[in-house]
Amino acid sequence: MSGMSRRVTIIDVAERAGVSRQTVSRAMNDLVGISAETRERVLAAATELNYRPSRFGRGLVEQGPITLGLVVEDLSNAYFAELGAAVVRACAPYGWNVVLADALHAPHPERVAGDLARRVDALVGYGVLTADIRGTGGMPVVQLDGRAAQLAEGGVIELARETAMAELAEHLVDAGARRPVVLDLAGGRGRTRSLALAASLRPLTGGADVPVREVDAREGHREILEQLLHERFDTIVAFNDELAVRLLRALRGLGVDVPGRVRLVGVDGLEIASLVTPELTTLSIDIETVAQQTVSLVVGMLDGSVPLSGAAAHRTVPYRLEVRASS
């Protein structure tokens, strides 16, 4: 009942129950060597005080598994949800714990990575600034989908798009596509990727600029598609598979033949791309491999066999072109 709300500790419970802290510990942890009666009394006191053991006090004594922090932009995005799940699975064999964090939905997005860095043994970020995090000294930090230029800050898993993009352009040229457009998500998270896509598609136009348009993730698809068809585009490359699948549905609603009237291509390689009709051509990244490479890099950093930054802390996972029926 002190003015400030102090944390209820094992000592408070011990006093309340009239026993020692050790006895409280026995009661809370279902250990032997305590009478049923005493246990009851202790548990009652704990409940009254709303006592909950501190995981830090406990962890300090017991040690514990490695905990890896993973911060991604936005878990509403299926790609990130699958990636998070894949990282958890990749860590499971080591017995590691994974703290998954969503930057977008947090009260202070810019702080998420920094805060988490102080609570974990290693930090992996995707599309999140992991630079200028206070007190990262000695802790493995890996940038997922990062670039070689970021190697000064920590490890980098690079997702290499160039080759697959070139293959896509070649494939589309062969298929007779001549008027491509890149459809980006409004909000601009993916600006870089979309511009790179547009640049890579120049072989289709004989070198002319490829336009980039924007659309909401879930709305206005029908309208923009009507517009694009009106402009006689014959190929749409969507920012990601989720958008592409939605566009596909809208095209169906418009009675537009895919790939006859317009070719459609996605990016990511999500499973959903192969479950729709027609199956979707996509630039595919193997999320499983990305997760495994990430974890293996962190393993190396933790055991000291890989430096925390620099060229040796660099892994590359290439996109692959999956040609399917939609193109």
Partner DNA sequence: TTGAAAGCGCTAACAA
Partner DNA sequence: TTGTTAGCGCTTTCAA
Contact flag: residue 72 with DNA (CB under 7 A): no
Compute the distance between CA of residue 50 and CA of residue 60 in angstroms, rounded to an integer: 22
With respect to DNA, which residue has the nearer C-beta, 136 or 150?
136
Report the site for a copy of itself in 12-31 (rule: CB under 8 A).
27-30
35 is a contact residue toward DNA (CB under 7 A): yes
Please tell me whether residue 313 binds a copy of itself under the rule CB under 8 A. no
Distance of closest approach, residue 2 Cβ to DNA, in angstroms = 12
- Of 47 and 76, nearer to DNA (C-beta) is 47
Residue 128 CB, nearest distance to a copy of itself (Å)? 14
Told to check if 84 binds a copy of itself by CB under 8 A, we report yes
The packing angle between helices 241-253 and 221-230, to 10°, is 70
Site string for DNA, 129-168 (x = CB under 7 A): ------x---------------------------------
Residue 275: CB atoms within 10 Å: 10
Measured from the CB atom, the residue of 165 and 308 that comes closer to a copy of itself is 308
Annotate 133-150 with b (16+ C-beta within 10 A) or e (fewer).
Answer: beebeebbbbbbbbeeeb
Which residue number, 205 or 292, has a Cβ lying nearer to a copy of itself? 292
Query: Interaction with a copy of itself in 249-278: which residues (CB under 8 A)?
Result: 249, 252, 271-272, 275-277
Site for a copy of itself in 232-251 (CB under 8 A): 245-246, 249
Residues 40, 48, 57, 178: which binds DNA (CB under 7 A)? 57
- Other residues' Cβ atoms within 10 Å of the Cβ of residue 165: 21
Contact mark string toward DNA, 265..284, x via CB under 7 A: --------------------
**Per-residue x/- mask for a copy of itself, residues 122 to 141, rule CB under 8 A?**
------------xx-xxx--
Interaction of residue 23 with DNA, rule CB under 7 A: yes
Query: The tokens of 11 are what?
Result: 């000592």
Site string for a copy of itself, 42-81 (x = CB under 8 A): -x--xx--xxxxxxxxxxx-xxxx-x-------xx-x-xx
For the four alpha carbons of 47, 50, 53 and 55, in that order, the dihedral sign comes to positive
